[in-house]
Chain A
Amino acid sequence: QVQLVESGGGVVQPGRSVRLSCVASGFTFSSYAMDWVRQAPGKGLEWVAVVSKDGSITNYAESVRGRFTISRDNSNNMLHLQMNSLTVEDTALYYCAVEAFDIWGQGTMVTVSS
């Protein structure tokens, strides 16, 4: 069945880094662009980043540009989000989603706290 499963979240100190992963199954991963979306506690959904089918094109929300890097490994059906220089404002539930946002994972929580 079609599925996205995120991992890599946890508690991290301000200024540190964390790498999120999302494994896809049940569909042809390499045929779709992929996105990361986040939701901070008590806040709305925020689009974070997108990567094209072959990984050659990426784009980011202004709030994370220069600190986060989205990438993919089509041979292993994996999507990644490298998050550097984390701040408390990055505390959120992070979801991966397929390009038309019709398939979502359950999310992985990142808490930035000292």
Chain B
Amino acid sequence: HSALTQPPSASGSPGQSVTISCTGTSSDVGGSNFVSWFQHHPGKAPKLMIYEVNKRPSGVPDRFSGSKSDNTASLTVSGLQAEDEADYYCISYAGSNNYVFGTGTKVTVL
């Protein structure tokens, strides 16, 4: 399974919104409701921000939202804050006990 495609970078000023895409195929993103998003600071444990396409774990601000259309999932961060600067990864179930991560997006808060 090839890695899901994410833009290498995204940026926005404080208070603005940024949306990150995660494009796969009908065998993974398009065929699964197991699509999650992680916030990751290298060397630290990734933090789950969105699961099952659009659900937020307890404690994650509602500024983070997820959606999916066909083979592309998206993460939107609204009201950007300095603390949101990090790498973001999507992951999808790809059938037969396989999972595939996205290529990762570095979000910069200008």
Contacts and interface: CB of A to CB of B under 8 A. Distances in A.
Interface of A: 35, 37, 39, 44-47, 50, 57-59, 61-62, 93, 95, 100-102, 104-107
Interface of B: 1, 3, 36, 38, 40, 42-48, 51, 57, 87, 89, 91, 96-104
B99 A102 contact: no
Given A44-B101, A47-B99, A95 B45 contact: yes
A36 B11 CA distance: 30
B43 A93 contact: yes
A105 B33 CA distance: 25
Given A59-B96, A59-B97, A100-B51, A106 B102 contact: no
By secondary structure, the A interface counts as strand
Given A102-B51, A102-B57, A45 B89 contact: yes
A106 B44 CA distance: 6
Contact of B3 (A44, A100, A102): A44
Contacts of A102: 48, 51, 57
A39 B103 CA distance: 11
A45 B101 CA distance: 7
Pick the most buried of A45, A50, A106: most chain B CB atoms within 10 A of its CB.
Answer: A45
Given A45-B101, A47-B91, A101 B38 contact: yes
Contacts of A107: 43, 45
B6 to A, nearest CB: 9
A102 B59 CA distance: 12
B21 to A, nearest CB: 15
